Amino acid sequence: MVIRLLLNLATIATVAAFLGTSAKAQQSENWARCVNKENKFQPDLSIGACSVLIQAGKESTRNLAIAFYNRGIAYKRSKDLGRAIADYDQAIRLDPKYAHAFFNRAQVHAEKGDTKRALQDWGQSIKLDPNDPDNFSQRGYYLATLGQNLEQAIADCTRSLQLKPNDANAVGVRGLAYYRLGENAKALADLNESKRLDPTDEDVWYLIGLVKIKNGDNASGEADIAKAKEIKADVAEKWNGFGVK
């Protein structure tokens, strides 16, 4: 009886250890799926895994914030912007200093056309993480494409370039802002530099073409616009939609 009892206790301990190891392995797998950037083409995998972690109620406050944040990313990729914002709200509630959550929520607000909230969130993201160049370049891009507060857009892109030199996106956006202000020489200088850094960007080719045409260099400008359309056929429609002509 004693030996049998000891064996049973040993078996129970072994099973418990196995179940504990199995549970940890499952938790680790869920985290890998929840945060895995490769899931951007299969956001349902991230949503499902993050949801399991959230609903289990076993994570720390910080980890819960991370799970909500990553599920928000997946919802955004699924074009479910309302749920994306709701999850970023939860991440920020759990961690009010979560700069990336403010940054991503700003992008969703911008996509929804809520300019006021987008700019508020980018401002908070910059306040929390003033050394992230993307904070500045993304706010600058948003302002420049809308044609709003162009001086701030230029300042943002300049700051972004101080933090991350030779960023084709930031210098190109600054060129766009200069173009909207009618400062064509500065615009062309920045856009040409952006093209040098990234010759595959159709937007830069198109904007260079517009600047050249404004300067009276029609033949060269039309050639650049044709090159932009070779890269992406609907590039003109995109910029026409923003009133950039």
* CATH number of the domain residue 242 falls in: 1.25.40.10
| Range(s) of the domain holding residue 82 | 1-130
Co-location of 117 and 8 in the same domain: yes
Class of residue 173 by CB neighbours under 10 A (exposed 0-12, middle 13-18, buried 19+): buried
Whether 16 shows a pLDDT value over 90: the answer reads no
* Angle between helical axes of 168-181 and 150-163 (0-180°, round to 10): 160
pLDDT given at position 30: 86
pLDDT at residue 114 is higher than 50: yes
pLDDT, tens digit (0-9, with 9 covering 90-100), for 154-164: 999 999 999 99
The answer to whether residues 160 and 102 belong to one domain is no
Q: Give yes or no for a contact between 110 and 134, defined as CB atoms under 8 angstroms apart.
A: no
Give the integer Cα–Cα distance in Å for 4 and 127. Answer: 65
pLDDT tens-digit readout, 32-83:
889 876 666 789 999 999 999 999 988 999 999 999 999 999 999 999 999 9
The residue among 77, 112, 130 that closes a domain is 130
Regarding whether 92 and 168 lie in a shared domain, the answer is no
- Nearest CA to 65 among 75, 77, 50? 50
Q: Which of 79, 114, 130 represents a domain boundary (last residue)?
A: 130
Total of domains in the chain: 2
Domain boundary among 103, 130, 157: 130
On whether the CB atoms of residues 27 and 62 are closer than 8 A, the answer is no
Q: Name the pLDDT band for 18 (thresholds 50, 70, 90).
A: very low
**Position 22 pLDDT exceeds 90:** no
Residues 157 and 183 in one domain: yes
Over residues 130-186, the pLDDT tens digits come to 999 999 999 999 999 999 999 999 999 999 999 999 999 999 999 999 999 999 999
pTM: 0.84
In which residue are the tokens 């040098």 written? 196
Output DSSP code: residue 31: H
